[in-house]
Amino acid sequence: MKPTAAEQVLADRCVLITGGARRLGAATARKLHGAGATIVVHYHRSTEAAHALVAQLNAIRPGSAHAVATDLLHSAALPGLVQATLDHYGRLDVLVNNASTFYPTPLGSITPAQFEDLVGTNLRAPLFLSQAAAPALRATQGLIINMADIHAQRPLRDHVVYSAAKAGLVMLTKSLARELGPQIRVNAIAPGPVMWPEYPMDEALKAEIVGKTALQRTGSPEDIARTALFLAADAPYVTGQVIAVDGGRGI
């Protein structure tokens, strides 16, 4: 069945999603692709997942998805990620800084390597990738979406570096909105209990977290993806904002 005009609201727009092969990144890629966008899936280690996702999207609409490998911790490589997008599709309309590293760092055991990894992925890479993408986004009156976290505002025990890095990302979002306006909008999404970490987590703790949300349930990757679609397709006067998608966990 031919897509309706509403389903193709992002037709002719190109979206670059870091960490787009799995979890929230993949859900966002599918949602924006479903709205008509062409998608560049960035990946580093998730080679098989990235190419599988691209194959799925291209099966729906041939030539509408492309995968590019880059190590985001190598800041000098980030302009190449933007250039690869431009070389393939000729434009860039939306940058989703989704890639994130997340694991415990209790204060007494934090190492310099952990600091560089967590801050590098969650803060430095979004900054320098936004810097590299700014000329292309300015040409299309584009958008940057940063994937923040409710723990940018509510520190998470034993995650000292992660919480600080996400807090920095929130301020980066607001600063970039000021720096890049009026041509480029910059916003962030702050997920709450939407997907549990990939490392083992106590079931009682999960239940406690859910019990502290106003909606008394977990969210889903689709909730995050729908928020990204709203920002990309239906929020032309929204910039510098952090939208919490947390079921009321933060209130």
First-to-last alpha carbon distance for the chain, in angstroms, is 43
The structure tokens listed for 117 are 């990894």
The structure tokens listed for 209 are 């977290």
199 catalytic per annotation = no
As a whole number of angstroms, the distance between CA 65 and CA 57 comes to: 6
146, 162, 18: which is closest to 103 by C-alpha? 162
DSSP bridge pairs for 188? 146, 242
201, 100, 104, 200: which is closest to 161 by C-alpha? 104
Number of Cβ within a 10 Å radius of residue 1 = 3
Cα 43 from chain centroid (whole Å): 12
Question: Which member of 43, 103, 162, 199 is catalytic?
Answer: 162
Q: Identify residue 11 by its one-letter amino acid code.
A: A
By the 8 A CB rule, do 128 and 99 touch? Answer: no
The structure tokens listed for 237 are 């006067």
| Catalytic positions | 162
